[in-house]
Amino acid sequence: MKKFFYRLSLLSASLFLAFVTIMLISMIAVRGWSYTEAGKVPPKTAVLLHAVHNNLVPGELKAPSIFANKGSSNFTRTDQMIPVSDGGEIPIRLYQPKAEGPHPVVMYYHGGAFMEGFGSIETHDNIIRALAARTDAIVVAPSYRLAPDNPFPTATQDSYDALKWVHEHAKVLGADPNRLAVAGDSAGGNLATVVAMMARDFNGPNIVAEALLYPLTTFEDQTFVSRDMYSSGYYLLSRGVMERAREAYTPQEEMWHSPYTSPLAAADLSNMPPTLLITAQFDPLRDEGEAYGVKLAESGVPVQAIRYDGVMHGFVSFYEVMDRGGHGLAVTSEYLRQAFNGELDESGGHEQLVYNHDDFQNSWQEELEAYAIGAFLIGKQIQNYIMDEQ
């Protein structure tokens, strides 16, 4: 019996020593990953960038499913086809509250560089689902057709047709046609504000607010510091992808100058809806997004602009594992709720906030999670190496 307990104690000590060793290696590795080509990033940002850059998790802008929180929902999901103006059909996804309506509506346009293989309602379903849960609104996500098979103006027209379809079918959907908002990320942020512009220009449905997450706002050849500084692709969006998107989505140069592809180039931004505009520090689209917010405000549109330091393009998609992503999602949800309740300040002006490193430094849980994920990634890299050698 003494020999058994002795062996058990040795095993326990060995396991503890192995655990401590792995965590120390993880801490050293994560601190090393934190020093990137454009500066130091927070630990959680570092491990996610390392994971994506080394193909240790899918490269889609979606949090790894093993980190997702599960729970009961207060809404239902439906996938269906709707007609569009050229005689075709596109899929849409609807999240509808189980409670009796009518409910406000968020039209959510997913990102993905306007091109096949870069984004869909599936890769962005976590954001779509979360907005439904947090806004108590109907969230409609159109699967607009993509380039290169469908260049401009197909995506914009599909997106606007989806808005009109929801407005026309509001009663059947249990929706309030007077409380419509648009939202989107990256390319979807571009489509969201373009849809709002089209609704204004073509006497379409009234849009009470727009929420734009790190939007692409111009295809024109303009100089932005962020485009040069963060264009390598390490921060989830590269100059190469942006150039491919322009070639595929706007193959003719005159398309680059349309306000429906480059809203930053629009001659008139008056009477656009109140706007929430979120940008990220390590994002090639940061400066053009913030420039768009300034231009909207100069046209009399009330703008709330927020930059999150320490994060990369697409960070809200990682809200399940990044505190800054969770904060950005919470801000977006609250902004939309206030818009639906008529609580936004619509007097005009431009409010620019910056959440910097100090605003999130006290999240010890975030740092411990980063080291734990780092240990997981190191283990996965070792496993991949062993499999490659066999």
Cα torsion at 182, 206, 289, 116 (round to 10°)? Answer: 50
Q: Per the residue annotation, which of 283, 287, 317, 333 is the catalytic one? A: 283
Torsion over CA: 42, 45, 49, 50 (sign): positive
Helices 43-53 and 2-33 sit at what angle, rounded to 10 degrees? Answer: 90
Helices 364-389 and 43-53 sit at what angle, rounded to 10 degrees? Answer: 20
287-to-105, 196, 223, 268, 373 alpha-carbon distances in Å: 29, 21, 9, 20, 31
Element (H, E) at 141: strand 138-142
Known catalytic residue at 186:
yes
Q: Specify the long-range contacts of residues 115-119, CB closer than 8 Å, at least 24 apart.
A: 115/146, 115/147, 115/148, 115/244, 115/245, 115/248, 115/249, 116/146, 116/147, 116/148, 116/149, 118/241, 119/60, 119/61, 119/186, 119/187, 119/188
DSSP 8-state secondary structure symbol assigned to residue 358: G
Known catalytic residue at 72:
no
Known catalytic residue at 226:
no
Q: Per the residue annotation, which of 159, 186, 226, 333 is the catalytic one? A: 186
Q: Per the residue annotation, which of 313, 323, 327, 350 is the catalytic one? A: 313
- Give catalytic residues, as residue numbers: 186, 283, 313
